[in-house]
Chains A and B, each alone.
Chain A
Amino acid sequence: MKELRLMKGNEALAEAAIRAGADAYFGYPITPQSEVIEYLMAQNTEERTGMVVLQAESEVAAINMVYGAAGCGKKAITTSSSPGISLKQEGLSYIAGAELPCVVANIVRGGPGLGTIQPSQSDYLQAVKGGGHGDYKLIVLAPATVQETVDYVKLAFDLAFKYRNPVMILSDGIIGQMMEKVELFEQIPRSDKVYDWATTGKEPGKDHVIITSLQLQPENQEKVNLRLQAKYKEVEKNEVLYESYNIDDAEYVFVAFGSCGRITQKAMELARKKGYKVGQIRPQTLYPFPVEILSKLADKVKGFLTVEMNAGQMVEDVRLAVNGKKPVEYYGRFGGMIPSPEEILDAFEQKFIGG
């Protein structure tokens, strides 16, 4: 049954978690994402689906509660915003190292430090390059709308369990706070599946289950790393998502993700009105990054402009994908500032047309 609602991004995320059949949410309040736990508490999830919702004493505790619950084979999720996500990095590294599934949403605000509560994309590199210690990757989904937020919660759990890997939804204060029409998917029942890798009590006659990220022998730790790298290769092969606009005849390509992708799309339309053949790529997965399409486009277009709400982070990945074939320029605002389509158009003209 199709259910349409007008919802705030953060509340929609919470509703989607319930509907995705999540077993547990652990979180700690921080602006601009506190509505997630508030909504979950108000929903009385213990009654509605049996989902556990607990306000932890810190983001450190919250991610470690997720680790415990995920280790039992349960669908566990936590959400936070930038300073809190920094605190979760140790836990995420352990979860990635122990190969457990979980979902983490970062409703990014501007930094560094306490920064600002205004929206930003300045946690891009932290999200896509691992974030904590060790060679690991999160699968990173970047919604641009409240609808995508909802859809990606479900997708995130699917990917987390498919690859037994933490999945991050990298959103921001704009999408978290704005209200949009959303179509909600139907309630997925909570699962009582027992996984052989999960700590659910030793089965008679079977070995006990150990969840650990420790290997004392370097040979064994290298093996773990090789297995992780092989898994990431699979992820890169299978899970890339992006949207493209006007790329067939494009001479220039804008690259922007999340809320900034929407603003940049407006800039692309303005550019088209002025007669510039501009197309756009909006990566929906930031890891795996849409390398192939960018590399292909690099053979035929004149240049790329990445537009980001940070000091230029994704531009590094775009440059790696383009691999020197064409110029890759960057334009962005940061510290909680949001670029306007007109500003972006100006930047484009200055960098490529010679305005």
Chain B
Amino acid sequence: MIMAENLKNPENLVYEKTKVLTDRVLHYCPGCGHGTAHRMLAEAIDDLGIQEETIGVAPVGCSVLAYYYFDVDMTEAAHGRAPAVATGIKRVMPEKYVFTYQGDGDLAAIGTAETIHACNRGENILIVFVNNGIYGMTGGQMAPTTLENMKSTTSPRGRDVKTMGAPLKITELIAQLPGTYYVARHSVHTPANARKTKRALKKALEYQKEEKGTCFIEVVSNCPSNWKMTPVESNKWMEENMFPFYPLGDIKVPQ
């Protein structure tokens, strides 16, 4: 008789949770992209065998508890300050791999100065930018990346670009800076896309070893809870609305 126990043999193993993620239960809402984005980054770290040489910086946002999930040394930064904290870490421990993991409010609103200047100095860090076009953690307020006419609790009639500004393509802006070496935008909503994200993250970490400058990987993501959609609907909405404005692919690649 085939029992689950008999199936769990090494020769039957086709996939395994990376050891760079802890066993803690993720607190993310069902269908949220944060969990998959975590896994891709953790797998990239695992594949490169750099778990013990990696130091991460968590943001303030839904991923504030990222430090519980990544089984690497982690610091929790104040809202928006992760690139400055990462700078401090990297400057005193240049031999370590340092990453930040930040949402769009964290990175592109309150932390814009820290983001741009860390990138402009070409800090040898990886910035992972999860853009869900909304303030997830605080309950769905407008983010700098919220699309035109998109509804949020602070743009209940839709984002009016005349009074609220246009959505900020910070990644394109970052790519202009000589300090950035590799800038790309991906998603994690299908297995194929998630794999691309992982490949990009791996490349970015390899460039960090070569001290090439800042690598910046945006992950366009969803927020089913605050978009008020099912996970499936949210992914469809993301494809139809987010991707046209935030097109996926490489933005700046090493020459």
Contact = CB atoms under 8 A, between A and B. Distances in A.
Nearest to A69: B88
Contact of A72 (B53, B54, B93, B114): B93
A64 B81 contact: yes
A204 B52 contact: yes
Contacts of A60: 81, 84, 113-114
Interface of A: 23-24, 26, 52, 54, 56-58, 60-62, 64-72, 74, 76, 90-91, 94, 98, 199-204, 208-214
Which of A69, A74, A201, A209 counts the most B-chain CB atoms under 10 A from its CB? A201
Contacts of A70: 88
A201 B88 contact: no
Contact of A212 (B55, B76, B84, B90): B76
A212 B77 CA distance: 8
B223 interface: no
A115 B254 CA distance: 48
6 contacts: A68-B89, A200-B73, A201-B52, A202-B71, A212-B67, A212-B75
Interface in B57-93: 57-58, 64-65, 67-68, 70-78, 81, 84-93
Contacts, number: 130
A65 B121 CA distance: 14
Interface string B215-254: 0000000000000000000000000000000000000000
Contacts of B117: 56-57, 61
A67 B67 contact: no
Nearest to B67: A210
Contacts of A94: 77-78
B74 A199 contact: yes
B96 interface: yes
Interface residues of B, number: 36
A202 B76 contact: no
Q: 10 shortest A-B CB distances, which residue pairs?
A: A68-B88, A65-B88, A64-B84, A199-B73, A212-B76, A57-B117, A68-B85, A69-B88, A64-B81, A68-B89
Given A61-B81, A71-B75, A54 B89 contact: no
A346 B92 CA distance: 53
A20 to B, nearest CB: 15
Given A72-B55, A199-B89, 19 more contacts: A64-B77, A64-B78, A64-B81, A65-B85, A65-B87, A67-B77, A68-B90, A69-B89, A72-B92, A90-B78, A199-B75, A201-B54, A202-B72, A208-B70, A209-B74, A210-B68, A210-B73, A211-B76, A212-B67
A57 B78 contact: no
A213 B77 CA distance: 9
B114 A57 contact: yes
Contact of A68 (B70, B71, B72, B86): B86
Interface string B110-131: 0001100100000000000000
B73 A208 contact: yes
Nearest to B57: A68
Nearest to A54: B91
Given A64-B114, A202-B52, A69 B91 contact: yes
Given A61-B113, A68-B84, A72-B92, A208 B74 contact: yes
Given A60-B114, A201-B54, A211 B75 contact: yes
A242 to B, nearest CB: 34
Which of A66, A98, A202 counts the most B-chain CB atoms under 10 A from its CB? A202
Contact of A76 (B55, B73, B88, B93): B88
Interface in B5-23: 22
A33 B43 CA distance: 46
Interface in B123-143: none
Contacts of B58: 212
